[in-house]
Amino acid sequence: MQTHLRLVPAAAILVAMSCANAPTETKTTSAVAQTPAKTPAEKKLIAKIHDSGFANAHDTYNGMGTGSDGRIYYVLCSEKPDVGGQMYAYDPATDKIAHLGDLTEASGEKDKKAISQGKSHVQFVESNGKLYFATHIGFYSIIDGMEKMGIPPAGMQAYLGGHLLAFDMKSGKYEDLGVEPHKEGFLTMNMDTQRNRIYALSWPTGYFIRYDLAKKEMKTLGSYFEKGENGKGNTYRTICRSLAINPDDGSVFFSSGEGAIHRYDFNKDAIETVSADELKKDYFGLYDITSAGHMAYNWRQVVYRPADKLFYGVHGNSGYLFRFDPRDIRIDVLDRITSEPSQRSGMFDQFSYGYLGFTLGADGRTLYYLTGGPVYENGKRVAGKSSTAKGEAKGVENLHLITYDIPDSKYTDHGPIFFENGERPAYVNSIAVGKDGRVYTLSRVSRNGKTLTDLISVKP
């Protein structure tokens, strides 16, 4: 397979980050949009907003997917202690949205007066007519300058832990598979549909958990992130957001901030750190792995391509595309797939952790990536934050849709995305490619003088 690199200014390679500790992507008070810079008409994409009717919707990370029935399934999150995240399905054939349920109720906690199941931070995995996913906390408290599990208001219990859930696509019923044993949220999840195993990482510590559907058995296999995003100083580590499952042998790979690659061995039911290669690459940048506000040397998102039995992933911050061979344990850096404006300016990703909106299309050869870029006014770049301690946008996001044809090594920037009123989508960290050819995601939108999150779509 031919590979190539697009040369990038040194500013995109060398960076020193020193940030205060903070956990997973959460809330911020920045505006949803600003006046867009002038852009050639032929390069502009106009996004359609789909109104789900959830007034409390807050930022969603992952939390969506395309079902075999053609519907787009997604979760709109809540940052309120007593309001759960809501699940929906959009049918492109009828242009209608169905409300599928409340995550707190689906987890069997409707009457427990505990901090709500405010979000889902994972991608849906479909198997035998069911969608498998997990829940996460959306309500936080600021303690010692860090975001922690939310302190419950008077009369409420503390968060009871995230749940592994199954949703039957025909009956519309939920099945609660179990709760995170340490009362943490589920930050990352994937499923081996051949062996009926679910794997997950918790937040804020980063416990690796596996669940056997046949045995209904949940097991913790330790943490590989020091004290995770609950640590301080040398014990702080950003937790991996994507688990890579090799369907051939059932192994599961994940990264850590140091750039190490860890492998779960299905036959041994144990985890080892592999040594043949690592993610600590000069091209990805320089990081203080004990500080927050970036993914360090973790991969941001990875997908499996059956045609060549390889994983393709993107490194957050630098925006470099790589492929990972699970047999030889080899990382090959392929190309920088940030937007053209980002490449020209030499900047890192506009979102501090990089972007999660990365997936493989149904054709098995096209990668889709939603990524931000700089904004220019009167020929001058609009300044933003040089660093941040949170998972947040460092400035106005110039969202672009990128596609990458794997066999031909062809990168295409389809241009910036706008709403019809000229505003820009913001806080986009989800993606689903519909059977109708449209690309769906979840973005901040302005509605009735209020900023909230909802489903949007564009046609490449």
CB 149 within 8 A of CB 163: no
Q: What are the residues facing 190 on neighbouring strands?
A: 199
Q: How far is CA 372 from CA 134, 186, 205, 279, 425, in A?
A: 27, 26, 29, 23, 10
**CATH number where 138 lies:** 2.130.10.10
CB 302 within 8 A of CB 286: no
Quote the CA–CA distance of 300 and 297 in Å, as a whole number: 9
Question: Quick one: DSSP state of residue 306?
Answer: T
Whole-number pLDDT of residue 383 = 75
In a domain, 3, yes or no: no
Q: What single letter denotes the amino acid at residue 44?
A: K
Q: Which of 24, 74, 81 is nearest to 54 (CA)?
A: 74
Task: Kindly report the number of other CB atoms within 10 A of residue 303's CB atom.
Answer: 18
Whole-number pLDDT of residue 144 = 67
Instruction: Name the residue with tokens 């990038």.
Output: 8
Quote the CA–CA distance of 126 and 438 in Å, as a whole number: 20
Task: Kindly report the number of other CB atoms within 10 A of residue 367's CB atom.
Answer: 21
Q: Which of 184, 189, 190, 22 is nearest to 117 (CA)?
A: 184
> Which structure tokens are listed for 102?
């409340």
Quote the CA–CA distance of 82 and 116 in Å, as a whole number: 5
Q: Which of 360, 319, 317 is nearest to 340 (CA)?
A: 319
In a domain, 208, yes or no: yes
| Pairing of β 45-46 and β 410-418 | parallel
Mean pLDDT, consecutive 10-residue stretches, the chain (460 aa), reads: 40 38 43 42 85 97 97 98 98 98 98 97 98 96 74 95 98 98 98 98 98 98 96 95 98 98 98 97 96 94 98 96 97 97 90 94 98 87 74 87 98 97 96 97 95 97
Report how many domains make up the chain: 1
In a domain, 5, yes or no: no
- Supply the range of the domain harboring residue 357: 10-458
What does the chain come to in residues?
Answer: 460
Quote the CA–CA distance of 290 and 295 in Å, as a whole number: 11
In a domain, 222, yes or no: yes
Task: Kindly report the number of other CB atoms within 10 A of residue 211's CB atom.
Answer: 21
> What is the chain's alpha carbon radius of gyration, rounded to the nearest angstrom?
20
> Which structure tokens are listed for 181?
């044993």
Whole-number pLDDT of residue 391 = 78
In a domain, 141, yes or no: yes
In a domain, 316, yes or no: yes
Whole-number pLDDT of residue 145 = 60
DSSP for 46-99 reads: EPEEE----TT-B--BS-EEE-TTS-EEEEEB--STT---EEEEEETTTTEEEE
Q: How far is CA 59 from CA 178, 222, 429, in A?
A: 25, 29, 9
DSSP for 233-295 reads: GGG--PPP---EE-TTT--EEEE-TTS-EEEEETTTTEEEEE-S--S--GGG----TTSSSS-
Q: What single letter denotes the amino acid at residue 31?
A: A
Kindly report whether the global pTM for this prediction surpasses the value 0.95: no
Whole-number pLDDT of residue 396 = 87
CB 127 within 8 A of CB 175: no
Task: Report the SS3 class of residue 26.
Answer: coil
User: Quick one: CA torsion of 89, 208, 356, 310, rounded to 10 degrees?
Assistant: -100
In a domain, 4, yes or no: no
In a domain, 2, yes or no: no
Quote the CA–CA distance of 379 and 189 in Å, as a whole number: 43
CA atoms within 13 A on the CB side of 136: 33
Quote the CA–CA distance of 153 and 186 in Å, as a whole number: 22
Whole-number pLDDT of residue 379 = 80
